[in-house]
Amino acid sequence: MLDSAAPIRRAFLGGNEDNYWTANGERYAAIRIPDATGKQTKRGVISPDDVVNGDGDVDSAEALVEREQSALSHLRAYDGGEVGLEETLAAVLAYDRLFGEDRDHEAWYRRVLQDRPWQQCGCPICEALGIEVIIFRGNNRNRRRGFHNVKVFYDQFRRTIQEAADEPLPQQRPMDPE
């Protein structure tokens, strides 16, 4: 049975390698960069003080924001070819590990950064957003990744129907990333 809501839901669900879908069937985890200024979670609001005063190795809310901004700037520079994989991964993991919850995402993040699926996609969302589509952060960003997944699902569904019918289907309209 097909579930057309799954592509959008998967963009939002955490804890797995199923946030970003590709045309060839590969699935990737999104890179989690929680908002350092306070974020809403299923368990309530987590403030910078919760991280600063917890098991993290930062001593102020400002240091937490600096760590967050370092992770984001490294990701963007990596996408532009300005920094390498290991340096980027180190910056992302230094921030990621502050949030606990057994956040051992290194293998997932290494895989998505090495493969760079957003650069190979060619859909209007990935072309417009670049690496931003793979960053798990705010609702709008996650929603756009969900729309990307819907596009991948639609293309796969279309191919399946076409193969079953053994007849070409009419051309599709381009998708607007806005």
Residue 170 included in any domain: no
Rounded to an integer, the average pLDDT of 16-28 is: 81
Residue 171 included in any domain: no
Q: Which two tokens stand for residue 89?
A: 């991964």
Full residue range of the structural domain in which residue 31 is found: 6-165
Identity at 18, one-letter amino acid code: D
Rg (CA), the chain: 18
Which residues, listed in sequence order, are joined to residue 21 by a DSSP beta bridge? 27
Mean pLDDT of the chain: 78
Helix and strand tally (H, E) in the chain?
A: 8, 6
Q: Which helix (H) or strand (E) holds 32?
A: strand 31-32
Residue 107 included in any domain: yes
Residue 175 included in any domain: no
Rounded to 5 degrees, φ, ψ at 158 are -60, -45
pLDDT 10s digits, 41-75: 444 445 555 555 555 555 677 888 899 999 999 99
Helix (H, G, I), strand (E, B) or coil at 39: strand
Q: What per-residue confidence (pLDDT) applies to 44?
A: 44
Residue 172 included in any domain: no
pLDDT 10s digits, 97-130: 887 655 678 999 999 999 999 999 988 988 999 9
**pLDDT for 12 beyond 50:** yes
Residue 95 included in any domain: yes
